[in-house]
Chain A
Amino acid sequence: MSVVHRVRLPVGATPMVEVGHSVEPAEVLATRRVPRGGINLAVSATLRRSPADAERYLVVRPGATLVAGAILAEDNRGRQVRVEEACILLGYDRDDGSAMVAPLSGSEPVLGHVRGNVVSIEPDAIELRIAGALVTGVGGSGNAVHGELRVAVHEPGDELRASAIDVGATGRIIVGGSRASAETLTRARAMGVAGIVLGGVLDKELRDFEATQQRRREIGGVRGDFAVILLEGFGKVGFDPGLFAWFRTHEGRMASLFGDTARLYVYDAGPPPGRRVLPRPGDRVIAHRRPHAGQGGELVRVLDRPYAFASGIVGRAALVRFEEGRTAVVPMANLEATEPLPSP
């Protein structure tokens, strides 16, 4: 199977690839020159005119990009103001007769962070076709990372513990279980883990971890990229056993993880177990909200009549036999059918 990944190009980026090119995660798709800050250039003084009069002799308007040595202003007496380095003209101050420009840095790369083939190049985006599967989550954190998948828990309901992170995890994307603490995430990052895949995590743990990383970044103590993706939800949410089994069969495959957008590409992988709303009796289902969030089971029966839940909400409901042994009535709106993995 294959999926398309879109890499957005910032304004001013120059594509370095062509349609049909095969690219690797660390390959440069485009380059751009980033503004470095603002400096003032004397215009009226150089032209020997009043600040208000000198404005008429600007040859470019604010917002324009100038190459090194380009003329910024020129009057009819042959006087010129040139820029020494490539820059963007931000504005002209009529009071002091200076122009504010933002010099541009050297060329910086725009990476795709995925392995695939370039299928289209537009001014604002490059699209890549990836041979593999896409798994989307409900939330996440962090930059784009790539690495080999490694399953670090035995059961989907297990918590990923800090002790499970060892040197063998360095540079890999770790598939954890139902949750992980801020301590585990911090250790994972410290050990050079590229990313972590979880069923869920407490929102507070994730925010605490992000806050710690932010502080460390500010003092220069964090290097390298790290990302987390949550597949089922926030809180003590289990990892769908079917999806966990799929990850087990793909252990060792390369993957690219985009934490902020909650997307995980697994290369050369078959489709992950699908999801479907409105499950039917006999379907394997996953529940999404408390008190059964993340639990899997079998839908035994859809109730004939609307059911009143403990909250007082009345709605369509189904009887579900959960894998841990309990049977409970769950709102149909909180259930998804999980499609079985195709037979090998």
Chain B
Amino acid sequence: MTANPVRADLALLLDVGSAWAKAGVIGRVRGRWRLVAHATQPTAWGATALRRSLVDQLAASADPRLMHRLDDLIAGANRIECHTARRPARLAVVAVSRELSGSAARRAAEAAGWEVVETVTFDDGRTLAGRLGILQAAEVEAWLIAGGFDDARSPRALEAAALVASARRVDGGPVIWAGSAALADEVERLFEPGALSVVGNPRPDARREEPAALRTHLAALLREAVTPEDETHLSSVAFPRAIGALAGATGLRILGVDLGARSATRALAEPDGTFASRVHARGGLAGTVFAPGAAARVARLAGDAGEEAAVADLLQTLRARPSSLPQTSEELSATQTAARVQLTGMFEEGVAGSVDLLIGAGQTIAAAPRPTQAARMLLDGVRPIGVTQLAVDAAALLGPLGSLPDDEIGEGLALLGEDLLVPLGTAVVCRGGVPGRLAMRVTVHRAGWPTRLPIEVRTGQLQVVALPRGQVAEITIELQSGVSLGAVRRSSQVQVSATGGVVGLILDARGVPIALPKRSDDRREVLAGWRDSLAREAIAGSERVA
């Protein structure tokens, strides 16, 4: 008698980042596709070590008849892969003013994924010779020139273009003119044919900023000229595609943030599946050290990460050794606070309108030791005003799924179902109110549970109500005068559904942005209160207050 051969349908989802490689094995279990193994390791460890990790995990649960074939099965599995761009693309910005054209151009470039290595403006305090010298020494793949309003012919803007023409070699990379439309023809004559592309002015007048056209152009240039590899396999492209497909499938407005070691990506997707994304070249953890005053800020916001000098060393370590791990609680606190600082930087302009679901991805957020820590990073960094579900891409599946062809992404997302994301719960974030005074009164109605007395949340407080994964509650939010959930409301009462998660229902009246006491002892006490409030295990039907 011969044994029936055992079939194993497996697929390997890989997300290879600049510092960390994440792999998930999905297999058919009792007719359903499930995530059956997941491993994360430094990218430098290589594919063999990653496969061994996955085999070790599978060995604990796989059919014994497959045991000797696991390595071959994973090696031969269908691979769905995305990866970080091999190196950042560098750009020099030359503009008339630092505050207007310069900052608009710089923001657009960074949002499109470029690393701005030099910014030269006519009010930067340098001499003309100094500016020329800096630009002549710049090692960049492209040049961005901005300045002048569209209705005026600015000689300074033309001078900015001439500076680039003087400093750049012929065939020294593409040049983008994002200045006064009236000067476009004159600027074009400064460069060899085909070198210059003209895009819409991000500062068409003193009051308006319209960076979208420039950002789109720069993003396309980044993909075409600098990263000619298959763009759909780039994490910065694949992650937003997955967010878009998820939004289209669920009818939710979804914001996804992927905080990597080097760069960060944000994607905002509408219920119809359309999405807009931005890549922040220095938005990753390693980039924290470059932000002015970052060490002081992290030390201040963490409260328990040690002195500023120790935090400064840690931020340098995150830059120099991005695939190492925080072994002590102080280092973890500083690392997670650095993540919050980077997220705050990404969302300093805020998010237009409220979002239904906020998804955190990347090693620091999605692999935080405790779900409450992931929730804290998302809440403090993004400040999603309104009622928002929170989730993390714990197994790093969104990137690889987003690299599939358009018509297969939705199918992939649907196949994984509940294994795709880990829901943290729902956050109610309000702004306004008087510190210490009542901000909102929240009543939670759950089917089969007695309705408890309303929970009173004061301005500056954070409360957590147990609401396990899979449960849905109807909540009534009664907002006090001067307190808002972002949207214009006709009534002081708001009724919404809240879905549960591993953290629960988070009621956050800490304001937008979060206000902290100036005195360090008071600040540490407040921060510890918020941390404890999130960290304590909630008893079903009760709330945790800080």
Contacts and interface: CB of A to CB of B under 8 A. Distances in A.
A290 B139 CA distance: 35
A62 B316 contact: no
A94 B128 contact: no
A211 interface: no
Contacts of B295: 203
Contact of A95 (B155, B327, B330): B155
A289 B313 CA distance: 10
B309 interface: yes
B487 interface: no
B159 A12 contact: no
- Of the candidates B49, B139, B159, the one having the most CB atoms from chain A within 10 angstroms of its own CB is B159
A316 interface: yes
A94 B155 contact: yes
Interface string B39-50: 001101110010
Nearest to B333: A311
Interface stretch (B63-71, B163-171, B464-472): B163-171
Interface string B179-212: 0000000000111000000000000000000000
Interface stretch (B248-256, B317-325, B428-436, B473-481): B317-325
Contacts of A288: 317, 321, 324
Given A277-B44, A333-B41, A36 B325 contact: no
- Of the candidates A139, A315, A316, the one having the most CB atoms from chain B within 10 angstroms of its own CB is A316
A289 B331 contact: yes
Given A35-B129, A35-B133, A38-B128, A8 B325 contact: no
Interface stretch (A85-93, A149-157, A249-257): A85-93
Contact of B42 (A88, A202, A233, A277): A277
A27 B41 CA distance: 46
B325 A34 contact: no
Given A63-B162, A123-B169, A234 B327 contact: no
Nearest to A315: B325
Given A203-B309, A204-B313, A289-B321, 17 more contacts: A63-B165, A63-B168, A88-B166, A89-B166, A93-B155, A94-B155, A203-B312, A234-B312, A234-B313, A235-B313, A289-B331, A290-B328, A309-B325, A312-B329, A312-B369, A313-B332, A334-B324
Contacts of A34: 129, 133
B328 to A, nearest CB: 6
Contact of A90 (B45, B159, B325): B159
B162 A289 contact: no
B139 A11 contact: no
Dominant secondary structure of chain B at its interface with chain A: helix
B2 interface: no
Interface in A306-323: 309-316
A10 B165 CA distance: 14
Contact of B317 (A204, A277, A289): A289
Contact of A233 (B41, B139, B167, B321): B321
Contacts of B326: 289, 311, 313
Nearest to A63: B165
29 contacts: A10-B133, A10-B136, A35-B166, A37-B127, A63-B162, A63-B164, A65-B166, A90-B128, A91-B159, A102-B166, A139-B316, A203-B312, A204-B309, A233-B313, A233-B320, A233-B321, A234-B312, A234-B313, A234-B320, A235-B313, A277-B45, A289-B317, A293-B317, A309-B325, A310-B328, A311-B326, A311-B332, A312-B369, A334-B324
A138 B321 contact: yes
A291 B327 contact: yes
B139 A8 contact: yes
Contacts of B155: 91, 93-95
A15 interface: no
- Of the candidates B308, B327, B369, the one having the most CB atoms from chain A within 10 angstroms of its own CB is B327
A309 B326 CA distance: 9
A278 B46 CA distance: 10
A330 interface: yes
A233 B162 contact: no
Contacts of A177: none
Interface in A74-108: 88-91, 93-95, 100, 102
B168 A11 contact: yes
- Of the candidates B153, B159, B162, B189, the one having the most CB atoms from chain A within 10 angstroms of its own CB is B162
A61 interface: yes
A315 B325 CA distance: 9
Ranked nearest first, the 5 interchain pairs of A and B with the lowest CB-CB distance are A63-B165, A312-B369, A62-B162, A235-B313, A138-B320
A333 B324 CA distance: 5
B328 A311 contact: yes
Nearest to A311: B332
A61 B165 contact: yes
B516 interface: no
A314 to B, nearest CB: 7
B399 to A, nearest CB: 21
B310 interface: yes
A88 B324 CA distance: 49
A139 B133 contact: no
B136 A11 contact: yes
Interface string B300-317: 000000001110111111
Nearest to A277: B44
Contact of A311 (B133, B316, B329): B329
B161 interface: yes
A34 B119 CA distance: 20
Interface in B275-316: 295, 308-310, 312-316
A36 B131 CA distance: 10
Contact of B369 (A202, A293, A311): A311
B166 A311 contact: no
B352 to A, nearest CB: 35
A18 interface: no
B122 to A, nearest CB: 11
Contacts of B161: 62
A334 B324 CA distance: 5
Given A63-B162, A138-B320, A312-B370, A334 B169 contact: no
A100 B155 CA distance: 11
A331 interface: yes
A334 B327 contact: yes
B137 interface: yes
B132 interface: yes
Nearest to A262: B320
- Of the candidates A90, A314, A331, the one having the most CB atoms from chain B within 10 angstroms of its own CB is A90
Contacts of A315: 325
A278 B321 contact: no
Given A90-B163, A333-B41, A310 B327 contact: yes
B341 interface: no
A88 B132 contact: yes
B55 interface: no
Contact of A102 (B42, B129, B191): B129
A61 B165 CA distance: 9
A73 B528 CA distance: 72
Interface string B119-145: 000000001110011001101000000
Contacts of B169: 11, 123-124
Contacts of B85: none
Contacts of A90: 128, 159, 162-163, 166
A65 B132 CA distance: 13
B422 interface: no
